[in-house]
Chains A and B, each alone.
Chain A
């Protein structure tokens, strides 16, 4: 596994055949029902929200979804959320609190959509509000970075009690191309950027940004979706068991403390 470079992982994470959130959701949960709309302006398909059941426990699902073909990619805006996706996610975070359902999020995005409408409708504020809401939602939260976790568009649904990355997923401040372009004014130095940015699961565990890595089946997740789903399912069951035993005060205090310390005890 150590022979794989950071840039290799970027390519695995972006592979169009890599399983998407809905692939896992359909495999893992006994039941799943997608529910739509931000109750304000429109339905945006880049984030899928809904309710799901596993072993008799109901969950809220908030999942960034890339399309599996051209048609779905258009419907999902290539997994790049508009503000309405974040507003929908916030609506489901609050609903989770009302019904005491734990929240499972799946992160897989190139980033929030950079468009005129997105800016007009407050992309930055929508992301900020999602981060703020998730930081203090009074139910257990688990986030899975399954593919690309890029920028604030990923973090918006990733402030969780347990943040888990698949072995070949990536998580970063922005894409390696964008990073190279900003820092060195040369987007072709993307491989060097990928290496420098510490965006692999191993790096992020060392930096205390994530809590756990889930190893992928032989090759990578795309070669055995069923096995990968089983691994995630097992983690959902085990982590839920642990988090459900905590009272809400210590749950929120631990979450605050975890993010409060970000960058302060970084191992290099």
Chain B
């Protein structure tokens, strides 16, 4: 499978959009945005956290949990092991507590390099645990999504993670804790249809593809061509599902502003 993410292969990287060969360090310095065509390279969870969280303030949660392989697929478990070696990631999300321009927050970043950011038991558990930590510590929570949806290899157990994470968001609302969701390319299926779209403030990166059903499924069902901007961040914004489209280089500051401006003073 070809990965569009920022996995380094030598010192050069090819822009998937304009095909320009770019010097990797240049791209990295420019927030992993193509200097030629403005294409947003997919960020690894590690780099996302580096861009958002103040230096040396991130403390990662480590839950030491594994999928129980509910569908009994040995090839799934070996693929997990292989991906861990290849990417250095434990799973498709990295979560912890850090500071954003000095303000403490729980931060979760999904990672497209691990099963296309799909949500199985481990991802569902990390997201839910992070939400519960935000409630417990009364800290705002920021979740960066990139996901193909619920993870097929865990079947119904993955579907149930939608119920688990959404139940936790309901508790977040009762507790009056701020939740900011940042939808990045791509965010689909069971992640769109659960915690990703339940935030108080929903941000999207420019040009990100976001939807419930995949384009191919829709085309096959309705037998007609889709509008050009269909399921883009701009399309969702136009239809009222996104608060703000924010450029990657402005994300940290915007998130910090939202955290600062959300808290009310009325205690009646």
A interface residues, Cβ below 8 angstroms from B: 112-116, 118-125, 127-129, 131-133, 135-136, 151-152, 155-156, 159, 171-173, 178-179, 182-183, 196-199, 204, 207, 209, 255-256, 259-260, 262-264, 266, 268
Contacts and interface: CB of A to CB of B under 8 A. Distances in A.
Contacts of A260: 128, 164, 167-168
Contact of B152 (A156, A183, A259): A183
A96 to B, nearest CB: 16
Interface in B27-74: 65, 67-73
A72 B81 CA distance: 50
B161 A114 contact: no
Nearest to A115: B222
B153 interface: yes
Contacts of A179: 152
Contacts of A182: 152
Given A122-B239, A266-B70, A268-B69, A127 B193 contact: yes
Contacts of A125: 192-193, 197-198, 241
A120 B239 CA distance: 6
Contact of B167 (A159, A207, A266): A159
B140 interface: no
B214 to A, nearest CB: 8
Contact of A114 (B160, B197, B198, B221): B221
B261 to A, nearest CB: 23
Nearest to A160: B163
A171 B155 CA distance: 10
B167 A198 contact: no
Contacts of B170: 132-133, 135-136
Interface stretch (B4-12, B18-26, B119-127, B248-256): B119-127
19 contacts: A114-B214, A115-B222, A116-B222, A124-B196, A131-B167, A132-B167, A152-B194, A155-B163, A159-B163, A173-B152, A173-B190, A198-B70, A262-B161, A262-B164, A263-B124, A263-B154, A264-B125, A266-B70, A268-B70
A262 B163 contact: yes
B218 A114 contact: yes
Interface residues of B, number: 59
B159 interface: yes
Contacts, number: 179
B163 A263 contact: no
Given A119-B230, A124-B211, A268-B68, A183 B167 contact: no
Given A199-B156, A207-B156, A263 B121 contact: yes
B166 A135 contact: yes
Residue of A124, A183, A198 with highest tally of chain B CB at under 10 A: A124
Contacts of B73: 196
Residue of A123, A135, A199 with highest tally of chain B CB at under 10 A: A135
A155 B230 contact: no
B162 A131 contact: yes
B77 to A, nearest CB: 11
B1 to A, nearest CB: 12
Contact of A152 (B128, B211, B212, B221): B212
Given A128-B196, A197-B155, A209-B160, 5 more contacts: A115-B221, A115-B222, A152-B159, A197-B156, A262-B164
Nearest to B169: A132
Contacts of A204: 156
B241 to A, nearest CB: 5
Contacts of B159: 151-152, 155, 172-173
A262 B72 contact: no
A135 B163 contact: yes
B21 to A, nearest CB: 31
A113 B69 CA distance: 30
Given A115-B221, A268-B70, A124 B192 contact: yes
B17 to A, nearest CB: 23
Nearest to B210: A124
Given A152-B159, A268-B72, A173 B193 contact: no
A112 B152 CA distance: 17
B197 A128 contact: yes
A258 to B, nearest CB: 9
Contacts of B157: 207, 209, 262-263, 266
Contacts of B71: 196-198
Contacts of B166: 128, 131-132, 135, 159
B227 interface: yes
Residue of B150, B153, B160, B161 with highest tally of chain A CB at under 10 A: B160
Contact of A128 (B125, B156, B171, B194): B194
Contacts of B168: 260
Contacts of A209: 156-157, 160
Contacts of B214: 114
Interface in B147-190: 150, 152-164, 166-171, 174, 189-190
